[in-house]
Structure 1
Amino acid sequence: METKIARLSATEKALEVIWELEKKYGDLMFYQAGGCCEGTQPQCFEKGGFFPRMNDAMIGTINEHEFWIDRDLFEYWKYSHFTLDVVDGFGPGGFSLETPLGKTFKVVYRLFTPDEYENLEPVKRSE
């Protein structure tokens, strides 16, 4: 059986920040909205600190923490691999847990090849 292709990964720098947040807050979750106040910056919350809307997509996990994206944003980006990264500075909104550390999560996208797209891990949808 062929291994399924992940839709999501994280850089070492992002993992270091996540480990720091895990020590302080425990279980985490990520949510990337489709715009408005927070733009399309991924937000990190304590698990249960944000409730995905009906039909939002959970595209994978990072350190077993779910990464959800807005249902409309998923339709736009479903052909893309997401790599979670972190940079110095303050992103829009400031609600994300990494903000007090002077960091901001961001996503780097790349398009899947046609072969990858045919063999992706399944997406979980909120109900």
Structure 2
Amino acid sequence: MVERVIATPATLELIELLRAKHGPHLFFHQSGGCCDNSAANCYIEGELTIGPGDVQLGTIGGLPFYMSVSQFAYWKHTQLIIDVIETHGGGTFSLEGPEGKAFLTRSRVFTDAELATLRTSEPG
């Protein structure tokens, strides 16, 4: 099965830490830029409204992962790979900031075969 979003082992480890600290009701939303720096942000349910302008790309670490419909139009040909980097915190609205870490979105272009498979199940 081709997945639109995947997580590195470091990401899965950080998700477990955040789940232990903040509870099980967490989710991700890929920001579109500006002050929250085009990153995968992790929130507690209710901190950010998910609406008809968002699509769920999949799950990572058992948590739903969303992106805006307009942003998906640009990224639908790529697989998002969510990783973790060390940072000094701040500059993010995401839960991992106080941990001295930040989620980082990497990507790779899908192959033609993967795209053909994905077209049958495009989100939104």
Q: CA deviation at 1:91?
A: 6.5
Identity level (%): 36
- Structure 1 residue aligned with 2:111, among 110, 113, 116? 113
Over 3 Å counting, the alpha-carbon distance change for 1:10 and 1:86 in structure 2 is same
Q: 1:63 is matched with which residue?
A: 61
Deviation string 1:43-75 (CA, Å, 9 cap, x unpaired) is 110123211242312100012211111222111
Letter in 2 for 1:63: G
The whole-number CA distance in structure 2 between the counterparts of 1:90 and 1:73 is: 28
Mean CA deviation greater in 86-95 or 30-39: 86-95
Deviation string 1:66-106 (CA, Å, 9 cap, x unpaired) is 11112221111000001110000047732110000000001
Q: Where does structure 1 lack aligned partners over 5 or more consecutive residues?
A: none
Root-mean-square deviation (Å): 1.8
The TM-score with structure 1 as length reference comes to 0.87
The whole-number CA distance in structure 2 between the counterparts of 1:5 and 1:23 is: 29
Aligned length: 122
Deviation string 1:19-44 (CA, Å, 9 cap, x unpaired) is 00010112210011222211211111
Other structure's SS at 2:16 match:
helix
Q: Verify: 1:97 aligned to 2:95, yes or no.
A: yes
Which structure would you say has the larger RCO, counting Cα contacts within 8 Å and 6 or more residues apart? 1
Mean CA deviation greater in 95-104 or 84-93: 84-93
Q: Where does structure 2 lack aligned partners over 5 or more consecutive residues?
A: none
The whole-number CA distance in structure 2 between the counterparts of 1:79 and 1:108 is: 13
Over 3 Å counting, the alpha-carbon distance change for 1:57 and 1:29 in structure 2 is same
The TM-score with structure 2 as length reference comes to 0.89
Letter in 2 for 1:19: E
Q: Verify: 1:23 aligned to 2:7, yes or no.
A: no
Q: Verify: 1:8 aligned to 2:8, yes or no.
A: no
Q: CA deviation at 1:123?
A: 4.5
